[in-house]
Chains A and B, each alone.
Chain A
Amino acid sequence: MENFIHVLLDPLKDFWAGFIVFVPKFIAMFIIFAGGVIIAWALKLLLLRTLLAANFDAWADKAGLTAIIRKGDIWGKPSDISGKILYWFVVIIFLMIGLNALQIQTVDKVVSQFFLYLPRIFSALLIFVIGYVIAGFISRAVLIAAVNSGYHYAKIVAEAVRLLLIVFILAMVLEQLSVAPSIVVAAFSIMFGGVVIALAIAFGVGGIDAARRIIEKGSEEKKEAEKDVEHL
């Protein structure tokens, strides 16, 4: 009978012992998370004030960043969206730190992987933003140059240049994020190489006559020059 009571109570005792150990960790996690939410909110407020003072929204409109956001059917102010991103980013970081306080082995692994991945997310984001702005500038420069040269398909050429640059940037972003890097590099090489070969063939086939004329003109000028030699 005594044995039976032991069998009955031991799991409960073990659970209680575990619970006693777990509760402080859980409270620590909760405090860290709650503190994180407050810090995130304060940082969001600070960022919003700074962006407002720097007239960030108008800059984003002019630089084309707002247009990118709208393409994703997001209709807030760029500063508000930046604030929200920062808020959730800080909240997630503090959630990870909080989970770390639980000292569960599996969770610890996920948390450390998350922190190792953070710099990659940052650099990918930076590449995308800067790349997109540069692509916009180059596309506009091509458009202006083509229009000034009287080229009929100026808009199509400018859009094609923009599309190619964006594909290039997206490949860089995915490579940076280590999302199937070998497939991304291979797909990009095939696609970009294909486009270049297609252009080379198109130019080569279309320009056979022009090339022949240029070569013939060159050799004729050479012969003429040889004939003009005056012997002393």
Chain B
Amino acid sequence: MADFYQTGIIITLHKLGRPSLERIEHEILEFSKQRPIALVLPALYTEFQADAIKGIVEELKKVKYVQEIVLTLGRATDEQFKEVKKFMSQIPYEVKVIHNEGKRIKEIYATLERNGLWPGEDGKGRSCWTAYGFVIANGKSDVIALHDCDIVTYNREMLARLCYPVVNPHIDVTFCKGFYSRVSDRMHGRVTRLLVTPLVRSLEKIVGFHPFLVFLDSFRYPLAGEFCMITDLARVLRIPWDWGLEVGVLSEVFRNYSARRVSQVDIADNYEHKHQPLSAEDAQKGLMRMCVDISKTIFRVLAAEGVVFSDALFKSLEVAYLRFAEDTMMKYEADAAINGLVFDRHEETKAVEAFANAIKKAAQIFIESPMGTPLIPNWNRVGSAIPGIFDMLKKAVEEDNK
């Protein structure tokens, strides 16, 4: 059982006792009559060859309060798309599959590009953004929930707990992020544990008090891919298309809404999904690329907030980060010891060293190009530039799903 401590400036919803899933689902069903829910599932075709998706679909079949599921599929041929569509058709309510590699959606991306609206490179960011556009175009849902399709330990309680704070008008938050522990015989989630938290705290120490850093530090699992938001937020989101997606979304939430209307919720006792290799030597692959993208996004958000970055600041940051990360590692070692978990200090130290290099690399990139690649534009801007875009997107998805 979790404690009931409220972390930081956002609302933290814990899992206390044994809350009844039936009660939560019943309440959501009632609330969803006023605030219909869309579930967005970003997935690659390769995920349909694994077992996790089978478990997710089995659980989703039992969910009664979701208005529509929008599965946004990447890296799939036309044949594979048909296969996925057939597989998803066992869910007894509306499911639409977005074929991101299909000719219709590709033409939508081409339309955006020729109007100066770059939708980003192929990836989770662009796929999710397209799915939000479809939900807006469809006009059926007021709330969007999102989770990945590689969760081995998935059960429908995760979805219910994720949606509850946003659909419940008495709580009335605009954005809710999931948190959980990722433990098997050891602790996982290296990027959150050993990069994001130490980096944010080092920045707080060097830059001083900054509302965005406090906001970011309030999240127990800022890189969790599971969140729920009001559809209006999806209209104004400008998100990065790379691994900076999660931090980018948080920065947009911070920019658009008061922290009093933002929450995080304990969605699972344990969470298991695929693990990325570290690839410490190559900053273009695996966790290293993820760390570079995340660090860049944090620097750019802070720069946009008025923080002045210099070579000297980055040098201090590297040193401060290493100190913080080492201290954090000691805490996790103690935590592992009391819980009888394996703790490979050498591997963790290697990860910290790799992450320090990633921060250095991100700093270099930031100094060379502070603006970086543009963010994916928000749907309000897209709708204003191309008035018929929502009709086109809806038509494309509907034709693909015929």
Q: Which residues of A contact B (CB under 8 A)?
A: 57-58, 61-62, 64, 66-67, 70-71, 73, 75-77, 136, 140
Known: A64-B387, A67-B388, A70-B396. A58 touches B104 (CB 8 A): no
Closest to B106 in A: A75
User: A62: which of B107, B387, B395, B396 is its contact (CB, 8 Å)?
Assistant: B387
State A57–B388 Cα separation when bound (angstroms): 13
Q: Is the CB of A62 within 8 A of B386?
A: yes
State A76–B387 Cα separation when bound (angstroms): 18
B110 CB–A CB distance under 8 Å: yes
B368 CB–A CB distance under 8 Å: no
B114 CB–A CB distance under 8 Å: yes
Q: Is the CB of B115 within 8 A of A61?
A: yes
Q: Is the CB of B399 within 8 A of A66?
A: no
User: B388: which of A66, A73, A76 is its contact (CB, 8 Å)?
Assistant: A66
Given contacts A61-B111, A136-B387, 15 further A-B contacts (CB under 8 A): A57-B114, A58-B114, A61-B115, A61-B386, A64-B387, A64-B388, A66-B111, A66-B388, A67-B387, A67-B388, A70-B391, A70-B395, A70-B396, A76-B107, A77-B114
B341 CB–A CB distance under 8 Å: no
Q: Is the CB of B385 within 8 A of A67?
A: no
* Inter-chain contacts of B76 with A (CB < 8 A): none
Closest to A78 in B: B111
State A140–B388 Cα separation when bound (angstroms): 12
Q: Is the CB of B395 within 8 A of A73?
A: yes
B323 CB–A CB distance under 8 Å: no
Q: Is the CB of A67 within 8 A of B110?
A: no
Q: Is the CB of A70 within 8 A of B386?
A: no
The 10 closest A-B pairs by CB, nearest first: A67-B388, A75-B107, A70-B392, A61-B386, A64-B388, A58-B115, A75-B104, A67-B391, A70-B395, A57-B114
B273 CB–A CB distance under 8 Å: no
* Residue among A64, A67, A76 with most chain B CB within 10 A: A67
B255 CB–A CB distance under 8 Å: no
Q: Which residues of B contact A (CB under 8 A)?
A: 103-104, 107, 110-111, 114-115, 385-389, 391-392, 395-396, 399
State A73–B397 Cα separation when bound (angstroms): 11
* Inter-chain contacts of B104 with A (CB < 8 A): 75
* Inter-chain contacts of B396 with A (CB < 8 A): 70, 75
Minimal beta-carbon separation of A129 from chain B (angstroms): 15
Q: Is the CB of A71 within 8 A of B395?
A: yes
Q: Is the CB of B103 within 8 A of A62?
A: no
Closest to A71 in B: B395
Closest to A76 in B: B107
Minimal beta-carbon separation of B109 from chain A (angstroms): 12
Minimal beta-carbon separation of B108 from chain A (angstroms): 9
List 22 A-B residue pairs with CB atoms under 8 Å apart, sorted by A's residue number: A57-B114, A58-B115, A61-B111, A61-B388, A61-B389, A62-B115, A62-B385, A62-B386, A62-B387, A64-B387, A66-B111, A66-B392, A67-B388, A67-B391, A70-B392, A70-B395, A70-B396, A71-B391, A71-B395, A75-B396, A77-B107, A77-B114
* Inter-chain contacts of A77 with B (CB < 8 A): 107, 110, 114
* Inter-chain contacts of A61 with B (CB < 8 A): 111, 114-115, 386, 388-389
Minimal beta-carbon separation of A69 from chain B (angstroms): 9
Minimal beta-carbon separation of A99 from chain B (angstroms): 36
State A76–B392 Cα separation when bound (angstroms): 12
Minimal beta-carbon separation of A103 from chain B (angstroms): 45
Minimal beta-carbon separation of A56 from chain B (angstroms): 10
Minimal beta-carbon separation of A157 from chain B (angstroms): 16
* Inter-chain contacts of A62 with B (CB < 8 A): 115, 385-387
* Residue among A57, A62, A64, A66 with most chain B CB within 10 A: A66
Minimal beta-carbon separation of A51 from chain B (angstroms): 12
Closest to A77 in B: B110
Minimal beta-carbon separation of B103 from chain A (angstroms): 6
Q: Is the CB of B387 within 8 A of A140?
A: yes
Closest to A62 in B: B386
State A48–B234 Cα separation when bound (angstroms): 37
* Inter-chain contacts of B392 with A (CB < 8 A): 66-67, 70
Q: Is the CB of A75 within 8 A of B103?
A: yes
Minimal beta-carbon separation of A177 from chain B (angstroms): 26
* Residue among A58, A61, A136 with most chain B CB within 10 A: A61
State A70–B392 Cα separation when bound (angstroms): 6
State A58–B388 Cα separation when bound (angstroms): 12
State A70–B111 Cα separation when bound (angstroms): 12
* Inter-chain contacts of B388 with A (CB < 8 A): 61, 64, 66-67, 70
Minimal beta-carbon separation of B85 from chain A (angstroms): 18
* Inter-chain contacts of B386 with A (CB < 8 A): 61-62, 66
State A192–B391 Cα separation when bound (angstroms): 27
* Inter-chain contacts of A70 with B (CB < 8 A): 388, 391-392, 395-396
* Inter-chain contacts of A64 with B (CB < 8 A): 387-388
Closest to A57 in B: B114
* Inter-chain contacts of B114 with A (CB < 8 A): 57-58, 61, 77
State A213–B121 Cα separation when bound (angstroms): 64
* Inter-chain contacts of B103 with A (CB < 8 A): 75
Minimal beta-carbon separation of B336 from chain A (angstroms): 54
State A70–B396 Cα separation when bound (angstroms): 8
* Inter-chain contacts of B399 with A (CB < 8 A): 73
* Inter-chain contacts of A67 with B (CB < 8 A): 387-388, 391-392
* Inter-chain contacts of B387 with A (CB < 8 A): 62, 64, 67, 136, 140
* Inter-chain contacts of A66 with B (CB < 8 A): 111, 386, 388, 392
